[in-house]
Amino acid sequence: MKEMYPKNGRVILHVDMNSFYASVEMASNPSLKGKPLAIAGNPEERRGIIVTCSYEARKFGVRTTMPLWEAKKLCPQLIVMTPNFDRYRAASAEMFEILRQFSSLVEPVSIDEGYIDITGSQELGSPMAIAEDIQKTILEQLDLPCSIGIAPNKFLAKTASDMKKPLGITILRKRDIPHILWPLEVGEMHGVGNKTAEKLKGIGIDTIGTLAKSNEIQLKALLGINGLRLRERANGIDRRPVDPESVFDFKSIGNSTTLPKDIANQQELIRVLERLSEQVAARMKRKQVLAEVIGITIRYKNRKTITRSHKLENPIGRKEEILAEARQLFIKNWDGNPVRLLGITGTGLVEAESAVKQLDLFSYEKDAEKEPLMNTMSMLQEKYGNNIIGHASSRLRQSQGASGRNDTSFNKDFLQQRNQEKPKKE
């Protein structure tokens, strides 16, 4: 098995969900399968555009970013649905949870694609076997198709995943670059947009091969440091690691543990969940975040794995709250067979200080008990300012904020941008 992994290099997969929004709708409503389906913004308006569409719709010429009126002209029987981003986020969270079962080095780059470094996962099989297992698991558990690229770096893995869709798996090695990539037009290269392609063609660079052999000084003068970076990519050079803490990560916090022996005793398994809840709560506290979704992972003795999650009415972060949700999910979904691994994950994270709690009949009584303290704090803040009272961890973060990155800033969290999702090439 070691012979299938490089001695000094990496093995990276790029997992790209196929027609993600449309596929999620088909998984939710199987009667849509096999039909031309499009997800579109403002479907009632003439100016609405196609966000994504099924492969059945593409056979008629329907494409992403196409005006809806044009798509209907090409395919009169086209089924048009408005985006359901809550549904897509939930499916995305489950998909990434599956990826984390194969490696801890998982980097989401958007709601429907991510990188996974499997260099340290040799015990699970060859890179091709792992890719096939991932594809099969996502399809069986979520009913969602994906394509996977296997390569020694992120650029080549991303390029490879685009080569066979849907449900393709492609290996792209550095030695394949001259005969597979270099003959392609430069505009087909990942990372080269239309405007950049026009600039490159203006100086005689019309293929990926000519870019790979181009003059560095000329490239830097034309495109700056990005020109040199593109030249490296064209030669198959990409040193970027798979970074689970990337700013594009949608900020999930989770812990899992492989049990020292397979356990079928419910009380013992609940105690494991209690320890995991404590660990997740501690990490949330350090990050000063709360979770809107709690999920669990159960892997059985036969390696069958299930993930289940629950969207909460109010975000939570305390150990007792996390355990209560995880325990309920576990009891509901455990089939009684011996368990090999357990995990708890909090997703849909929000900053603790900005979380708004919607009181209901069940939580009102507990919150009412704290009302005198809240009133006193409110009076002090009104008299002396909002910063007069706060958590010690908040004070520490404020003192460090001027010189360090704010880990709880979610301005770049793609899963929180409900109304700003952009159509993408699938």
Catalogue the active-site residues: 113
Report residue 361 as tokens. 């009949």
Does residue 360 have a known ligand-binding role? no
Is the separation of the CB atoms in 54 and 36 below 8 Å? Answer: yes
- Nearest by Cα to 389 from 401, 404, 406, 375: 375
Give the three-state DSSP class for 350: strand
Is the separation of the CB atoms in 135 and 26 below 8 Å? Answer: no
- Tokens 């798509």, residue located: 71
Euclidean distance between CA atoms 252 and 416, whole angstroms: 13
Tell me the torsion sign for CA atoms 311, 316, 318, 320: negative
Q: What is the DSSP letter of 242?
A: P
- Nearest by Cα to 96 from 322, 293, 350, 328: 293
What burial class does residue 285 get, using C-beta atoms within 10 Å of its C-beta: 0-12 exposed, 13-18 middle, 19+ buried? middle
Euclidean distance between CA atoms 13 and 138, whole angstroms: 15
Does residue 112 have a known ligand-binding role? yes
Is the separation of the CB atoms in 146 and 130 below 8 Å? Answer: no
Is the separation of the CB atoms in 308 and 272 below 8 Å? Answer: no
Tell me the torsion sign for CA atoms 264, 270, 271, 277: positive
Residue 69, beta-bridge partner list: none
Is the separation of the CB atoms in 250 and 85 below 8 Å? Answer: no
- Burial readout 201-228 (b: 16 or more C-beta within 10 A, e: otherwise): eeeebebbbbbbebeeeebeebbeeebe
Q: Which residues are annotated as a binding site for Mg(2+)?
A: 16, 112
Q: Which residues are annotated as a binding site?
A: 16, 112
